[in-house]
Amino acid sequence: MARIFVTGSADGLGLMAAKKLVSQGHQVVLHARNEKRAVDAMHALQGAEKVLIADLSDIGETKRLADEVNSLGHFDAVIQNAGLYQVSNLELSKDGFPLLIAVNVLAPYLLTSLIHQPERLIYLSSGMHMQGDPTMRGLNQGKPKISYSDSKLYDLILAKAVARKWPGVYSNAVDPGWVPTKMGGPGAPDNLEKGFETQAWLAVSNDEKVKVSGRYFHHQKEDHYLKNADDTAAQEALLAFCEKATGVAFPNKG
């Protein structure tokens, strides 16, 4: 039995992945951004161990969440599932960052850096990362401004940076596809089950295909991705931005 923490698991793909893992006999801790969603999540998955509450757009709350996860003991895997989609760059977090940056980029960086190192890390990316800007100009201008595609590219770059710096950890990114969730919309054409099964598979399977790191998966198969994500200079630039924004340095050794 494995123990897994899943961010953004009050509904959507995160909750579906959590349900699959619990049905397989694994121990799962959920995450919700507020108390109401936490109650709904526990009703939806009564087999979950616990639900933790934190607004991932808030750097302070995200740091507190990492502390709470650590207080629960060791986790075998962390699925970085939480994310925003159609949000304006004019919508700012408490810390003054566009919400897309705060939730999709800074939160997974913080949780990776601060949660005691698991054996496996899974980051939710998207096929839309192919349209992301690998130069990171949007992050480094006076008023940061990025697209959803940019943020999903940065999640892939983060997964690859972790794989390079922590060779003892399986760190991979997943494209769940365009599936009919609240985020994807009812007209999304991809298979819903295939949208969540890959992250659950990567979190717990003993299949040799998952015992890899720095890869990009779609529907349980390695898929093509923007090769700029392999650039170590890009990886270091992203880590430097996140460190400056959050005040937390990435731990190079586990």
Alpha-carbon gap, residue 121 to 118, rounded angstroms: 7
CA 11 to chain centre: 15
Task: With beta carbons less than 8 A apart as the criterion, state whether 124 and 174 touch.
Answer: yes
DSSP codes joined into one string, 125-165: --GGGGGS-TT-TTTSSSS----HHHHHHHHHHHHHHHHHH
Structure tokens given for 15: 């909750």
Is 123 catalytic? The answer is: no
Run of H or E including 31: strand 27-32
- The residue from 148, 154, 170, 216 that is catalytic is 148
Is 216 catalytic? The answer is: no
Terminal alpha carbon distance of the chain: 23
Alpha-carbon gap, residue 76 to 249, rounded angstroms: 23
CA 128 to chain centre: 15
How distant, in Å, are the alpha carbons of 78, 114, 155, 199, 237 from that of 120? 7, 15, 15, 11, 23
- The residue from 19, 152, 154, 225 that is catalytic is 152
Neighbours of 145 (CB within 10 A): 16
Cite the active site residues: 148, 152
